[in-house]
Each structure stands twice: as C-alpha cells, then as structure tokens.
Amino acid sequence: MAVATRARGSSLLRALAATRGPPLLQLLRSIHEGPDTIDELLDRHLSKKAPSSSSSLLDDDALEAQARRRLTSSRREALGLYRDILRATRLFEWPDDRGVPWRESLRANARREFEEARGERDPEVVARLLIGGRDAVDQALERVAEASRRMVQAEEAKRRGGA
C-alpha cells in the first residue's frame, strides 16, 4: 500500500511538474528518490555563497557600517571628554609665569591633542587615547580638589590659632 501511495504521489508530482515546466520538476524532486552522488545532494540542499563581487561589496558595506558605528560611539565619547576638559579648565583661574590664565593654556593644549588624534581610525588606539585623556582629567580634578582641601584646612587652622 505504501509503495502504491509513493508511486501515486511521485506520478502526481511529475504530472504537476510537467504542467509547469522542467525547473519545477527539479525543485520538487524528493530526497528519497536519491541523488546520483553526494555532491549532487549537497548542491541541491545546501545554500552556497555566490562568488560574485556583489557579495564582497555587501561584506565591505557591512564592515564599513560596523566601523562607522564604532567611530560614532568613539566620537561621542571624545566629544564628552572634550566637554569635560573644558568644564574642568574653569577651575584653573590663576595665571602662569607669562601672565596667561592656566585655563587658556589647558584649553589650547587639549584642542591641539584632539586635532592631532582626529584622523586616528584604529579602535584600539582611539580607546587608549580616550582612557588616557579621561584619567588625566580625573587626576587633574583630584589634585585641584586636594589643593582646595589643604587651603581650606590651612585657613581654618589660621583662624583657630589667630582667634
């Protein structure tokens, strides 16, 4: 009975395929009818990458989009770091030996450093620069805070001793 059903199903598929043309017959060919070789089976049932240049273009486009996303997030982090540097320089009001406020010197140095690193595309180097810049800002702010604490403590000690 199973043989008759398989034969009827097979003949039905062939009849259906004959009405629609030869390519459908190849698509409807069952794995149970058996391929001539393993290679034929693999060719029919596994998807292959097309060796065309369009797939390499798609890969290049995907890689470029991924790099752009990384650069966008790095750019965002760099802008945030630059803003933090500008905010931190507000605390440096006193002049240096030449009479120029430290704020202006620090801002000019930060601008120069950012301009030098502007063309950097290597994500590891960019990350290293951002981490180094963030650490430098944090250390500078910590030193300013410590100096401010010392000045306040010295002022309080002076008041207590003089009062």
pTM beyond cutoff 0.75: no
Q: What's the average model confidence in pLDDT over 108-131?
A: 91
Instruction: Identify the three-state secondary structure at position 96.
Output: coil
User: Tens digits of per-residue pLDDT, 124-158?
Assistant: 898 899 999 999 999 999 999 999 999 999 999 99
Residue type, 30: S
The two structure tokens encoding residue 47: 């998807």
Q: Cα separations (Å) of 54 from 47, 57, 154?
A: 17, 5, 72
Residue type, 12: L
Give the pLDDT band of residue 21 (cuts 50, 70, 90). very low
**How many angstroms separate the first and last alpha carbons of the chain?**
115
Contacts of 6 (CB under 8 A, 6+ apart): 32
State the helix-helix crossing angle for 53-89 and 123-162, rounded to 10 degrees.
Answer: 10
Average pLDDT, the chain: 76
The torsion region of residue 15 among left (phi > 0), alpha (psi -120 to 50) and beta comes to: alpha
DSSP character at residue 46: S
The two structure tokens encoding residue 84: 């933090």
Q: Chain-centre distance of CA 47, in angstroms?
A: 30
Distance CA 144, CA 69 (A): 36
Q: Are residues 15 and 24 in contact, defined by beta-carbon separation less than 8 angstroms?
A: no
Give the pLDDT band of residue 5 (cuts 50, 70, 90). very low
68 pLDDT more than 50? yes
Q: Are residues 140 and 126 in contact, defined by beta-carbon separation less than 8 angstroms?
A: no
